[in-house]
Amino acid sequence: MLSAPRSPKPNHPPPASSRPSGTFPSNGARGAGPSRSGNLTGLTTARWLTSTGYPLSFGPNTKPKEWIKMNERARHAASIKGADDVIIKEAECFADPDFTNGNDHLSEGEILFFKEQGFLLKRGFLHEPEVFSQVVDCVWSNVPRDLFRKEDPESWVGLPTDQWTEEDEVQVGQLQGGSWKMRSREGIGTEPFFLDGIANHPRMRSLVAKFIGEPIRTAKRVRGVYCQFPKPPGTSGKLMPHLDYTAGQLTAMVFVDDVPPKCGGFTLWPGSHTRLHEYWECLQSGTIREDRKEAYARARDAAVNEITPLEFPGHAGDVIFWHPRLLHSAGINHSAEFDRQIMRMIVPCDYQIDGRDFYDDLIHGPGPNHQWWVDTRHWHGDTTTTTDNMWEWWVFSTE
């Protein structure tokens, strides 16, 4: 059992109903627009986006990353700032229910728990010490210019974010605050130890199929390794409850190293998925309905105010399966205040059913321009959300 170390408001694009079929046509469909290759530079693209209701202000040579960041109208509704009076409760460490196990089946009790709470923890689900060692080695081998060092835990505290260059972000991912999302477009997150050893592991695919059915889309990448560093002693940490807009059906967080309590464990707001489901355009869509964005923000803020978040300590091989509509955050890593610094490492994996008519969202992603690190995609034929159809595409098999 783990124990803690000892102490010493914007505008948005129009809804799908007012956009061209499929959201983003390939060249030649309904006029010249961005191709599925993801080329978003050039005046033709600017004209096409404006003609479809996206009043974006960027020049012919503006890079996708730049125009997404600089134009408020392209921001996703999930990014609406919380109200000033929202109070985020302190997280409690998750206490395992009596039924907690590491098998690759679902019981009736586990299914009921998942539907109500939005997650299911499987302890010791993967036994792949060599794979986990490769992941940890991958993290340390990709630190630019030894800005922090494995053998010097003191260097993990007070990260030199001002020395993290744009090239570093391209090559090894974003370092922001106390979090490093280590990934790259065609490298980090696509290696065999991530895919064969984790995301496409037979036990992972077997249990995912019990949740959502078959065939499961084969993962081509994971999101990377999400590292949470110790906050400097005497500073205040803050949870950042949010939803991803990743167009997936089921997400898994895989522990690749031990995470004691209060050391940055992945944090969830249990039951928030049922409150926020109805505001999304479709069941697995990454788009919040335009006519409900303000109601969504109010519902999200109410959930944050009312729900006590749960932080998950764990061991390498533990896996949290969770619904993408669940509010979540990286935990606050207090380990620098204890007797031993911990860097929390976790690997996020995304799942959905295969064989559908998938397409890229070139504005918000997932797609080649934004959220390329997410392996799932929007698909034609997804069902419009209602207040009571959250589980329409789930099978929940106990066999």
Q: What percent of the chain has pLDDT over 90?
A: 76
What whole-number distance in Å separates Cα of residue 326 and Cα of residue 136?
Answer: 27
At residue 208, the pLDDT reads 99
Give ∠ CA 212-388-376 in degrees, rounded to 5.
35
pLDDT, tens only, 51-104: 333 333 333 444 444 444 444 445 788 888 889 999 999 999 999 999 999 999
Taking all residues of the chain, what is their mean pLDDT, rounded to a whole number? 86
pLDDT at 110: 99
Q: Give the range among 24-38, 69-83, 306-320 with minimum mean pLDDT.
A: 24-38
Q: Say what the pTM is.
A: 0.84
**Please, which residues have CB within 8 angstroms of residue 354's CB and are 6 or more apart in sequence?**
215, 216, 217, 218
CA distance between the termini of the chain:
30
Is residue 181's pLDDT more than 90? yes
Phi first, then psi, for residue 229 (nearest 5°) are: -90, 160
pLDDT of residue 60: 40
Per residue in 358-391, pLDDT (tens digit) is: 999 999 999 999 999 999 999 999 999 999 999 9
| Model confidence pLDDT, tens digit, residues 203-237 | 999 999 999 999 999 999 999 999 999 999 999 89
pLDDT in tens, 101-141: 999 999 999 999 999 999 999 999 999 999 999 999 999 99
Name the residue among 325, 329, 300, 274 with its Cα closest to residue 81. Answer: 300
The residue among 23 and 267 whose pLDDT is bigger is 267
Q: What is the pLDDT of residue 390?
A: 98
The model's pLDDT over 244-264, given as tens digits with 9 standing for 90+, comes to 999 999 999 999 999 999 999
Q: What percent of the chain lies above the pLDDT cut of 70?
A: 81
Task: Please give the pLDDT value at position 289.
Answer: 81
Domains (range + CATH), the chain: 16-75 (no CATH), 81-380 (2.60.120)
Question: Residue 30 has which token pair?
Answer: 């309904």
